[in-house]
Structure formats: C-alpha cells, structure tokens
C-alpha cells in the first residue's frame, strides 16, 4: 500500500475479572490464583466512527449463569463484576451513548467476550463465519462445552451480522492472510486458530502506534515471549490444542519481527496493568 493507513483513537477498557490458577494459564506457572480481567477496546476511525473490539463481561453474566448447566461456568471461573465496568456504562467517559457505536468486532463467541452485545441494539456485528457456525445451533451442555451462553446473543444477531469467510487478503508476516476491514489498511483481521473455532485477532493502526489484539490466542504475554503454551489441562476446553501451540509460535515470530507492535491478549494481567491501571493513574 503506497499511502499510510489512517490511525484510530484507541482506549482499552477493563470489564471485570475472574480468578484463574496461573499454572493452568501457562506451563510452568505458579500454583496461585491470579485475576484475569476481560479487556475490550473502544476505537474511533476518522471516517467510519466508533467501534468496539469485543464487549467483555457485563452484569447479565450473573443472570445467565444462575441455573444449570451454565452455573458450572460461574463455578469454573468465579466472576468479579461491577455494573460500572460494563462497556455501555464506561462510554460516558467519552460522552458517548450505545447508539454511537457503529460496529462491534467479535473475536470469538466465548461468554467473557460477548456478554455486553445486548447493550448495543443498533450496532452491526463482524465475526468469522467459522466461529459463528460452530456455536449457532448449540444449546445447553453442548453450548457450555464451547463456553458459549446462547442467551447472550441478541435475537436479531444474524440480521445485523457480517460473517467473514476464510481470509484471503494481503498476508502479514507469520500471521498469514488478512481481512482489511475498511480497505484502507487501518484495521487488519487475522486468523488465530486453536483456542476457539474461527477465532480472530486484530492489528489496529492507532494514534499511539500499532496494537495487535490477540484475543485468547494466548492468555499471558509471557506465552508469546517464551513460546510457552497453556497447561495440558486447558486442552480439555480448547478447540484444537495443536493449533493453540502453532498460533503462539506465530504470535512469537510476528512479535520478534515487528518490535513496534504492542500485543494485547484479552486476559493478560501485564497488559491490564499497563493499559488500564497505568492509564487510571495518569487521569
């Protein structure tokens, strides 16, 4: 591309956390529980307006996990939520309303990434076709096995969704084919298979440089630095354990080659400390 892509405003939002054993998140991790926040991002494109990368948790997570079998979800990941942390509530910091959000990009359909979707009745959704097809008809235990809670999906989801087929755009080093969302190079979607069927990552050209939103391609940045995968136990809940390791290696190779890019996995405590806590301290 001859022209530099436009840059987006970018704000990283914490939507709450659950406690997880570190040695489950990464091989060689300690036997201690750590807070895994669910991060979302609020972005503003100079021509296409406001959009979200995922919506993280929202208070309705507590309602939809009240009864069996979804109560097992809450038992597996004890939730610490605060209504003030829902993305919809946080928009007030920028004098925005839910209706100002034009689009929501959904990395994958795990409950901790889509719990806020119903707060945005006018937004269009962008997701991968493979991710949606994998969960669309699942109910009850079959949904829970995919960490998917059907009640979180808006009733008119398919009417508002653009489902992307396998990407065929200009490849990114190590990460492979892309989908250029606005055709201007500012937001490039990439495929991050393994953790969940059809999972996407997003390389965003922001006012503070390039950011790779890695979703759950790994849980901790340390996995990328050290090419260290999650514990074998986590293989029970992922779509394809071999692809999880391959994706971590690809994220490693990309990070090595592109030292300017900040990688933000959705639940990494180090990313939370740098992107959310440090920003609060400044303001």
| Contacts to Zn ion by CB under 5 A | 110, 112, 216
Closest CA to 194 of 148, 240, 230: 240
CB of 99 to Zn ion, least distance (A): 27
Q: Which conformational region is residue 198 in: left (phi greater than 0), alpha (psi within -120 to 50 degrees), or beta?
A: left
Strand 9-21 versus strand 101-105 pairing type:
unpaired
Residue 32 tokens, joined: 């201690």
Distance CA 175, CA 191 (A): 7
CB of 257 to Zn ion, least distance (A): 26
CB of 20 to Zn ion, least distance (A): 10
* Residue number, 134 or 216, with CB nearest to Zn ion: 216
Closest CA to 92 of 42, 47, 49, 37: 42
* Residue number, 14 or 216, with CB nearest to Zn ion: 216
* Residue number, 9 or 234, with CB nearest to Zn ion: 234
* Residue number, 56 or 59, with CB nearest to Zn ion: 56
Q: Residue with CB nearest Zn ion?
A: 110
Distance CA 153, CA 157 (A): 7
CB of 141 to Zn ion, least distance (A): 18
């Amino acid at each position: 591309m001859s022209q530099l892509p436009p840059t987006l405003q970018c704000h990283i939002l914490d939507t709450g956390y659950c406690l997880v054993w570190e040695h489950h998140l990464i091989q060689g991790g300690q036997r201690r529980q750590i807070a895994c926040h669910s991060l979302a991002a609020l972005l503003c494109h100079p021509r296409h307006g406001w959009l979200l990368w995922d919506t993280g948790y929202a208070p309705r997570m507590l309602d939809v996990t009240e009864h069996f079998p979804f109560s097992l979800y809450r038992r597996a990941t004890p939730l610490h939520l605060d209504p003030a942390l829902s993305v919809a509530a946080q928009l007030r910091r920028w004098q925005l309303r839910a209706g100002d959000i034009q689009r929501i990009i959904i990395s994958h359909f795990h409950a901790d990434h889509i719990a806020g979707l119903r707060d945005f009745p006018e937004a269009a959704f962008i997701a991968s076709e493979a991710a949606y097809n994998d969960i669309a008809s699942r109910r009850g235990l079959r949904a829970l096995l995919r960490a998917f809670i059907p009640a979180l999906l808006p009733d008119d989801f398919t009417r508002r969704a653009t489902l992307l087929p396998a990407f065929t755009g200009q490849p990114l080093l190590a990460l492979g084919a892309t989908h250029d969302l606005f055709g201007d190079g500012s937001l490039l979607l990439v495929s991050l298979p393994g953790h969940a069927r059809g999972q996407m990552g997003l390389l965003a050209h922001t006012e503070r440089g390039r950011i790779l939103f890695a979703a759950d391609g790994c849980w901790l940045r340390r996995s990328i630095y050290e090419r260290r995968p999650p514990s074998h136990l986590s293989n029970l809940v992922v779509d394809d354990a071999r692809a999880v390791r391959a994706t971590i290696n690809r994220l490693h190779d990309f990070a090595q080659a592109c030292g300017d890019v900040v990688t933000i996995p959705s639940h990494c405590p180090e990313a939370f400390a740098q992107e959310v806590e440090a920003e609060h301290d400044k303001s």
